Structure 1
Amino acid sequence: MDHMSSNLEDYLEVIFSLESVNSEARAKDIADAMGVQRASVTNALQKLSQRGLINYQPYSSVTLTPEGFRTATRIVHRHKVLYDFLHTFLQIRPEVAEDTACKLEHHIDDESLETLTKFARFIMTCPRTGKDWLEAFTRSCNERGTCTNCSECIKSCLERQDDKCPGSSEPSSKTS
């Protein structure tokens, strides 16, 4: 199948969302969700129907075909991964992360998305990173606007890590 425009992907994403809540999507609901006129919705629905992604007849509800469901699921997944990374890891405000994820989801390739997913998983599971690491980033970098005193943060983190180290009867001594 040839490349689908960002606009059509957005329609498919909205149809997916409406169908998951209501078991169907109506043109009026799609127009409301996207903030567009019904005529624009009709044109997009015709294009999606021609591609075999939706079941559509004028004045009827819209449902995804199996291929439309697979395509919409991929789009929604890309959006979620990007939003989660922007908001959770980079601490970008939710509304900005949402807007940016919407823009990026149409252009990120599968290899980059998979690598980003692996990186996020690594950050959350590696004992050298994880939740403490994210909290330190938030405190040190985001709250002050710049990350200027990393040595103090690293020293504190290493002390906490030594305290957690199995087999150690006491925290190791540090030299400055």
Structure 2
Amino acid sequence: MKREIDRNKRGNMDLTESLEDYLEAIYVHLQEKKVVRVKDLMKHFNYKSSSVNTAVGQLKKKGLVDHEKYGYIDLTTEGRELAKEIYRKHEKLTGFLRDTLGINGETAENDACRMEHILSDETYETFYRFIKYLEQVLTRKKLDSIIEQFKKLPRETD
């Protein structure tokens, strides 16, 4: 599935979910290790070098990464901005699913990964603003109480 990136910020670029995942993985690896190689992405995704090289090549053509054959992979300024945005969305969605709704960590992580690709920027930003609003108008204790009451509600079993 392709997701069109905000044209005002990024021109006419289309990225697949897979390419977004690569950008996010490169960003996370750079935060942890300061360098990224093809073998790091192979290990991360459990993919063959040909798949990783193809994806990195596509990101390079789009001006999102710098990479010389057998060298390090780095994000361009535009790539870093986009990767940071994707990662931020992933983290916020994971946190909401896990911490607010009480979904187990692995499921929250997997669902957030899928959601980050399908939610429009408008829906995500509105959702995020709503959560921030709730946190501002309710004390932490009151919000925690509401969340605990919610978690105790019976699940529908049609």
Using the TM superposition, give the Cα deviation of residue 43 of structure 1 relative to its aligned residue in structure 2, in angstroms: 0.6
Partner deviation per Cα, 1:58-89 (whole Å, 9 max, x = no partner)? 10010000010011011111111211111122
For the 8 Å contact 1:25–1:62, the answer to whether it is kept is yes
Give distance in 2, aligned partners of 1:47 and 1:131: 48
Match of 1:166 in 2: none
How many residues were matched structurally? 145
Counterpart amino acid of 1:98?
E
Max Rg structure: 1
Counterpart amino acid of 1:12?
L
The correspondence for 1:133, drawn from 143, 150, 153, is: 143
Unmatched 5+ residue regions in structure 2? 1-11
Give distance in 2, aligned partners of 1:111 and 1:49: 28
The correspondence for 1:107, drawn from 105, 113, 118, is: 118
> Is the aligned partner of 1:81 residue 2:99?
no
Match of 1:122 in 2: 133
Structure 1 vs Structure 2: percent identity of aligned residues? 30
- Higher normalized strand content (fraction of residues): 2
Give distance in 1, aligned partners of 2:78 and 2:150: 43
C-alpha root-mean-square deviation of aligned residues, in Å?
Answer: 1.8
Partner deviation per Cα, 1:13-50 (whole Å, 9 max, x = no partner)? 01001111222211001111112111110110100000
Unmatched 5+ residue regions in structure 1? 148-176
Match of 1:70 in 2: 81
Moved over 6 A (4+): none
Using the TM superposition, give the Cα deviation of residue 8 of structure 1 relative to its aligned residue in structure 2, in angstroms: 0.4
Alignment partner of 1:25: what SS? coil
Partner deviation per Cα, 1:101-134 (whole Å, 9 max, x = no partner)? 000101111111111111111222213x643333
Match of 1:153 in 2: none
Greater relative contact order: 1 or 2 (C-alpha under 8 angstroms, separation 6 or more)?
2
Give distance in 1, aligned partners of 2:104 and 2:145: 15
Counterpart amino acid of 2:144?
L
> Is the aligned partner of 1:142 residue 2:125?
no
> Is the aligned partner of 1:38 residue 2:59?
no
Match of 1:20 in 2: 31
Match of 2:5 in 1: none
How is 1:47-66 mapped onto 2 (pairs within 5 angstroms)? 47-66=58-77
Counterpart amino acid of 1:135?
S
